[in-house]
Structure 1
Amino acid sequence: MTSAVKTVWLIHGWSYTPALWDAVAAALSGAPLRLERVDLGYFGPEHRPVGRPDLVVGHSFGSLWALMHPDLAAVPVLAVNGFTRFAAAPDFAAGVAPRGLARMIRGISSDAAAVLAGFRAQIGDAAAVPEGPPESGRLIGDLERLRDDIAALHAAPLTALAGDGDPLIPPDHSRACFGDSVRFVSGGGHLLPLTHPAVVADAIRACLP
């Protein structure tokens, strides 16, 4: 990485907030980077930085979000616990069963807190869900994007970092999205920014010239 200041966008995953990146940001302290965080608005207003970054780092759904926006075309993407397709389909057997997504979509309308707590338990996060009422419309809308096959993903240089013990996106799913180029973190689950922030920070540095 050169000494010129590079702009990096950090995009959290479904049901999370920009605080997901706190430990990664701390691990990058002192690096010639301008870290800007996208807020997908699950617990407050949405926020997207202005301008065009040198690198986008997306966690889980955050990586798909980056690929859905054509104005970010050709910006390199580091997918952390990420994917290019989520739900299973006849031509994508490695995906997650759509019935689980349908159940979550129905559940959010009646008890969003319970759905979020259940999802976090599934991926090994014992932390409390952020306080305040969740933005159910945004949560449902992005679950629908995960459920539906998004064919209009733009092309971008992709680097993938995954956990070999990810309970949500297991290795076969990661390989189906990224091929053999995906790098697996030994003992890593679905929350590498929280459990392996130094590894994620090193991957960010490696993606920048």
Structure 2
Amino acid sequence: MIGPRLVFVHGWGCGPDIWEPVLEALDQPSACVLDLGYFGASQSDTQQRLDAVLRGSLPLLAVGHSLGFLWLLSRGGWPKGTRFLGINAFGRFAAEDGFSQGVSQRMLARMQTGLQRDAVQVVNNFRDRCGVGPVRSDAVCVPVLQEGLTELMALDARPALARLAEVPGTVKVLAGEHDPIVSPDMTQASFPPGVPVEWESEGGHMLPLTHPHVCAEAVRCMMSQNLENS
């Protein structure tokens, strides 16, 4: 049986390089790795690459880190049998009525204001919290970073996740018990009961970098399984 085609998307303030250890562990050079453009990559090229895989006949395994998972779920047109793996992921990020576990909208708004004053400081402060190194001041693309924060404030994939969870095996999540960005409470509150969450006891927010073999094994398992209604 031919397995699903792999698509990887990184989170806010990061780039596709976070997937390199996972791809090395998987030995999957043909995987589609998208770049959301926070550091200057063309968004139109990214959309064209996504459109190309969506036009294919094979189902996909869409793997998203942090906002990348929410970004993937907010896109439509997935081939039948497509499944989703979220790493340090969430169904919603920003707090709202009935979702107090999310991050304050005010904090995200302050980050947007800070991007206008000193974008590289905002990005590197965030990256430092995540445990990854800084980027150069000439690398950041402020409009795209602003757009990403708007997505974190507004996107809500919980209705889509509830539908996907009706078919066991369609969605799985890897989470870090010591994630400084996505709290365990946020993780638990933003996914429906039918979505399994695998917790890494020593994991933070960058499981693709710190636990690449765990991420790779989760990818392998999802690639090899048969969905009930696919």
- 1:72-151 paired onto structure 2 within 5 Å: 72=78, 75-125=82-132, 127-129=133-135, 132-150=138-156
The whole-number CA distance in structure 1 between the counterparts of 2:96 and 2:202 is 28
TM-score (norm: length of structure 1): 0.89
SS in 2 for 1:70: coil
Residues 66 and 72 of structure 1 are in contact (CA less than 8 Å); yes or no, is this contact kept in structure 2? no
The whole-number CA distance in structure 2 between the counterparts of 1:13 and 1:182 is 19
The whole-number CA distance in structure 1 between the counterparts of 2:137 and 2:30 is 28
Match status 1:164 vs 2:177: yes
The whole-number CA distance in structure 2 between the counterparts of 1:104 and 1:8 is 32
Q: Name the CA shift for 1:118/1:178 in 2 (closer, same or farther; >3 Å).
A: same
The whole-number CA distance in structure 1 between the counterparts of 2:85 and 2:69 is 7
CA RMSD of aligned residues (A): 2.0
TM-score (norm: length of structure 2): 0.82
Q: Name the CA shift for 1:202/1:93 in 2 (closer, same or farther; >3 Å).
A: same
Q: Please list the CA deviations of residues 52-109 of structure 1 after superposition, one character each: whole Å capped at 9, or x if unmatched.
A: 3520000000000001001237621100001110011111011111111011000111
Match status 1:54 vs 2:69: no
Residues 67 and 153 of structure 1 are in contact (CA less than 8 Å); yes or no, is this contact kept in structure 2? no
Point out where structure 1 has 5 or more consecutive residues left out of the alignment.
none
Identity %: 37
Residues 68 and 153 of structure 1 are in contact (CA less than 8 Å); yes or no, is this contact kept in structure 2? no
Q: Name the CA shift for 1:152/1:202 in 2 (closer, same or farther; >3 Å).
A: closer
Point out where structure 2 has 5 or more consecutive residues left out of the alignment.
165-169, 225-230
Q: Please list the CA deviations of residues 179-205 of structure 1 after superposition, one character each: whole Å capped at 9, or x if unmatched.
A: 452110110000000000000000001
Residues 66 and 86 of structure 2 are in contact (CA less than 8 Å); yes or no, is this contact kept in structure 1? yes
Q: CA deviation at 1:128?
A: 2.2
Equivalent pairs counted in the alignment come to 204
SS in 1 for 2:114: helix
